[in-house]
Amino acid sequence: MNDRLAWLGRTVEKAIDCDAEICDPHHHLWEFPSNRYLVDEFLADVAGGHCVARTVYVECHQKYRQNGPTALRPVGETEFVDGCTAALQGAASRTRVAAGIVGFADLSLGQEVRAVLEAHLAASSRFRGIRHASAWDASEQVRKAHTDPPPRLLAQPGFRAGFSCLRELGLTFDAWLYHTQIPEVAELARAFPDVTIILNHAGGPLGIGPYAGRRSEVFDIWQRNMAGLAGCHNVFVKFGGLAMTMSGFGWHKRDSPPGSLELADSMRPYFTACLELFGAGRCMFESNFPVEQASCSYTVLWNAFKRLAQACSPSERADLLNRTATRVYRLAA
């Protein structure tokens, strides 16, 4: 971890447009034997100069309950996040970390998952929805999501039965998958038009394994799939994730991290497509930290996002940086 921070320190920028209010709708907190990223580490990143007013925590298999029914063990993650961020919810806090919480519940349980969702709701008034990652690819060179999903998870009858509980309880669904699977989200969204679905990481365009060296071809497939999804007006897009190593840009292998100008130039075709297809009112920038830390610092990443939004109207910029996420996750401004 110290080596990574030293590497990130080779490319330092001051935050630009510091007064623009940000809602960061996607970050994690975790503690592994060789990698700690908890509230202190996140706040240290936020202290780089951007005005991050509120954030949304997204599940990453942390602090599950160690006993009790297996289905209810993920509720421990919501309990953990609620507890470690409670002091940051007051008006005096510069950043309300985890103003919204997205946890995990196994939707494949069908209607039985309702009890798990209700337990999450009881664990925190900030609980807003779940993410059941379905990222899967036929290639062994592309890692499956941490949930170890089967192919076409979103279409399975048991999953759909569990998904209906989200509608009943007014909860959102975060979808994490790869660009080849985007049509599966469209099928789900059309089946449940009254459930808010948030597509993570711009739909996961891959650039590794069998997709390496095929960026133009992958982009065309991704763009076509995103165009098909855009007609589902209950779907929103988190724009980010492109600094993950699976995107294939290779920034993590360089002697120094990229600056925000390079990041923005590389991300621009994807951003332009998302903005044209979904509009700023259905798009939000996300940090996905600390995962994106593989390629850049928090300050540099948000500088890149702000550079991308420079050509937008003031209202569009406000949506992308703050208002869309605040509205979708029902966070008090």
Per-residue pLDDT of the chain (333 residues; tens, 9 = 90+): 678 899 999 999 999 999 999 999 999 999 999 899 999 999 999 999 999 999 999 999 999 999 999 999 999 999 999 999 999 998 889 999 999 999 999 999 999 999 999 999 999 999 999 999 999 999 999 999 999 999 999 999 999 999 999 999 999 999 999 999 999 999 999 999 999 999 999 999 999 999 999 999 999 999 999 999 999 999 999 999 999 999 999 999 999 999 999 999 999 999 999 999 999 999 999 999 999 999 999 999 999 999 999 999 999 999 999 999 999 999 986
Place of tokens 């209700």: 118
d(CA 194, CA 91): 33
E runs forming strands in the chain: 21-27, 30-32, 35-37, 51-58, 96-103, 127-131, 172-175, 197-199, 235-239, 283-285
3-state secondary structure (DSSP) of residue 207 = coil
- The confidence score (pLDDT) of residue 223 equals 98
pTM: predicted TM-score of the whole model, two decimal places: 0.98
Is it true that the peptide bond before 290 is cis, omega within 30 degrees of 0?
A: yes
Q: What whole-number distance in Å separates Cα of residue 316 and Cα of residue 153?
A: 34
CATH superfamily, with its number, for domain 2-328: Metal-dependent hydrolases (3.20.20.140)
Which residues, listed in sequence order, are joined to residue 127 by a DSSP beta bridge? 101
Task: Estimate the share of the chain in helix, then strand, then coil, as percent rounded to the nearest 5.
Answer: 50, 15, 35
Contact 22, 51 (CB under 8 A): yes
To 10 degrees, the CA torsion angle through 169, 80, 328, 234?
-50
Rounded CA-CA distance 252/54 in Å is 28
Beta bridge partners of 27: 57, 289
Whether 147 contacts 176, CB under 8 Å: no
Contacts 24+ apart (CB under 8 A), 61-65: 61/104, 61/146, 62/28, 62/29, 62/30, 62/31, 63/31
Q: How many Å apart are CA 233 and CA 25, to the nearest integer?
A: 19
| Predicted pLDDT of residue 92 | 87
- Six-digit token string for 326: 């605040």
- DSSP secondary structure letter of residue 49: S
Total length of the chain: 333
d(CA 24, CA 56): 6
Cβ atoms of 188 and 222 within 8 Å: the answer is no
